[in-house]
Amino acid sequence: MDVPARRGSDRSPVPAIAFSIAAGLTAAIAFVVGPASGGAEPTITGSVLIAFAIGWALMSVLTRRFSAQPQPWTLVPAAFLGIVGISLVATQPGARAMDVLGWLWPFALFGVAIWSFIQMRRGLAGRARWLLHPVLAVLVLLAVGGGIETIAEAADRAAHPMPGRLIAVNGHQMHIECVGSGGLTVVLQSGAGESSIYWDRIMTTVSTSTRVCAYDRPGRGWSDPTTPEDGATVAAELHTLLRAAGEHGPYVLVGHSSGGLYVRIFAAAYPSETAGLALLDSQPATAFTSLPDYPMIYTGIRTVTSVGTPLARLGLTRLLYLSEFTGLPANAQSAQRANQSSAMLASSSRDEFAELATTITEALSTPSLGSTPLAVVTALSEAQRGWLEAQNELATLSTNSRHVVIADISHGDLIETERGAAASSEAILAVIAAVQTGTPMGGR
């Protein structure tokens, strides 16, 4: 039943409600960019919920103290959000536990939002209602989005069966797919936040000449999530995975983007098992000093990836990727969109960037490659300042290298588009030929 406004009262609840809403939003932003910045999903999500709980609690206190329409019912959403938020921050549930909660919290949040709407209609009159209508509508949308996303991720797993196989490595399952045959085995190392899926074009081409393996680092594709890993750990786990999969060196290591750092660390750790390298628009180990914009870019990425998992849980990331990865073949395109939309991938990306500075330092301390065949492919379209110079330096890691510069292809195009993947495949095959025949790479 609607409650009429009290006649003769000038103690409107509007200022108190508006201030409370603003305080909750401000606290949420402050937590995300402040003490919770770069934190894991439970820390970020829990901090935001605590901030919103503060806003709802303030609403109860301020409307009671400064208005003629007290709203004691707002303590209920305050308690719900506060208890859940504190529990997440205190217990730090893992990725699997958060996945299970994904089946529960949308229903709970929807129920709280509907209950709050009913209480608002009963206890609040006038223009103040219009301040709360958008707030409650957002809660409903978040609940619906979260529910749809949980169902969509389950459907994605059914729609995209795993190629290759899972192998136990250090207590968790890792996915690897190997195709083709030949004397050398090519190992593909994905860039930051990527899985094995986007190597589809290159695997298809290179596997006609030799054996090719693509795998998923923990928390992406079909591999189990685990704790954050630096480059040395990634290299050691890859070595264990290859051995357990029955694959034997010498390997031609291919790294795209940040994957280039990992293969350099692998080559330094296992030089007798490294026959050659191909660095596809690889991140230089001197990124913090040779790329003027990189320190700021890295800080921004750390902040963005820390909120990526909560956004993925709400289905917002899926919306962003609806029209992406159009360069890939249809089957890989769909699987790539599904993988990139998942909360697990977002969490893994956050962990990877949290360790990336350490990985860069580890790659910087690796020795040169001597005369090991090396191909460097550089994409200049949309490249940041200093990129070409840093790529030129990468080509000096070996006395037997070739550097291919492509002005009108972007970073992602080297893997995803037909033309870009063809250029990358050609560079990989050139390394294989140099290893097998002992001929020089041939410079540029």
- pLDDT 10s digits, 312-354: 999 999 999 998 999 999 889 999 999 999 999 999 999 999 9
* pLDDT given for residue 1 in this prediction: 41
**pLDDT, mean of residues 162-188:** 95
Percent of the chain with pLDDT over 70: 97
How, if at all, do strands 185-189 and 251-256 pair? parallel
* pLDDT given for residue 225 in this prediction: 92
227, 228, 232, 234: CA torsion to nearest 10: 70
* pLDDT given for residue 331 in this prediction: 87
pLDDT digits (tens, 9 = 90+) for 228-246: 999 999 999 999 999 999 9
The per-residue DSSP string of 221-245 comes to TTSPP-S---HHHHHHHHHHHHHHT
DSSP annotation of 190 reads: -
pLDDT band for position 10 (cuts 50, 70, 90): low
Q: Which of 142-146, 270-274, 426-430, 439-443 has the lowest mean pLDDT?
A: 439-443
* pLDDT given for residue 38 in this prediction: 81
Nearest to 357 by CA among 289, 275, 272, 268: 289
The residues that bridge with 374 in the sheet, in sequence order, are 277, 401
* pLDDT given for residue 7 in this prediction: 41
* pLDDT given for residue 107 in this prediction: 96
**pLDDT, mean of residues 24-36:** 93
On the CB side of 208, CA atoms within 13 Å amount to: 6
Nearest to 236 by CA among 359, 415, 373, 364: 359
pTM: 0.90
pLDDT band for position 425 (cuts 50, 70, 90): very high
Q: Long-range pairs for 98-104 at CB < 8 Å and ≥24 separation?
A: 98/41, 98/42, 98/309, 98/313, 98/343, 98/347, 99/343, 99/344, 102/146, 102/149, 102/150, 102/153, 102/313, 102/343, 103/150
Asked if pLDDT for residue 39 goes beyond 60, the answer is yes
Distance CA 136, CA 35 (A): 27
Neighbours of 70 (CB within 10 A): 19
Distance CA 214, CA 163 (A): 10
Beta strands in 306-438 (DSSP E): 374-381, 401-410
Residue 209 contacts residue 180 (beta carbons within 8 Å): yes
> Of 4 and 36, which is predicted with more confidence?
36
Distance CA 269, CA 11 (A): 72
- For the purposes of burial, counting CB atoms within 10 Å of the CB of 153, is it exposed (0-12), middle (13-18) or buried (19 or more)? buried
Task: Provide φ and ψ at 323, rounded to 5°.
Answer: -115, 20
Q: How far is CA 367 from CA 285, 309, 336, 377, in A?
A: 12, 36, 35, 21
Neighbours of 163 (CB within 10 A): 18
Asked if pLDDT for residue 8 goes beyond 60, the answer is no
Asked if pLDDT for residue 11 goes beyond 50, the answer is yes
pLDDT band for position 304 (cuts 50, 70, 90): confident
Q: What angle do CA 425, 428, 434 make, to 5 degrees?
A: 140
> Of 143 and 300, which is predicted with more confidence?
143
Q: Which of 77-81, 272-276, 299-303 has the lowest mean pLDDT?
A: 299-303
pLDDT digits (tens, 9 = 90+) for 110-143: 999 999 999 999 999 888 899 999 999 999 999 9
The residues that bridge with 215 in the sheet, in sequence order, are 176
Write down the number of H helices and E strands in the chain.
17, 8
pLDDT digits (tens, 9 = 90+) for 343-360: 999 999 999 999 999 999
pLDDT band for position 249 (cuts 50, 70, 90): confident
The residues that bridge with 251 in the sheet, in sequence order, are 185, 274
Nearest to 327 by CA among 221, 427, 209, 410: 410
Residue 25 contacts residue 60 (beta carbons within 8 Å): no
pLDDT band for position 303 (cuts 50, 70, 90): confident
pLDDT digits (tens, 9 = 90+) for 359-414: 999 999 999 999 999 999 999 999 999 999 999 999 999 999 999 999 999 999 99
Q: Which of 114-123, 278-287, 295-304, 373-382 has the lowest mean pLDDT?
A: 295-304
Asked if pLDDT for residue 9 goes beyond 60, the answer is no
Quickly list H helices, 160-273.
200-206, 231-244, 259-269
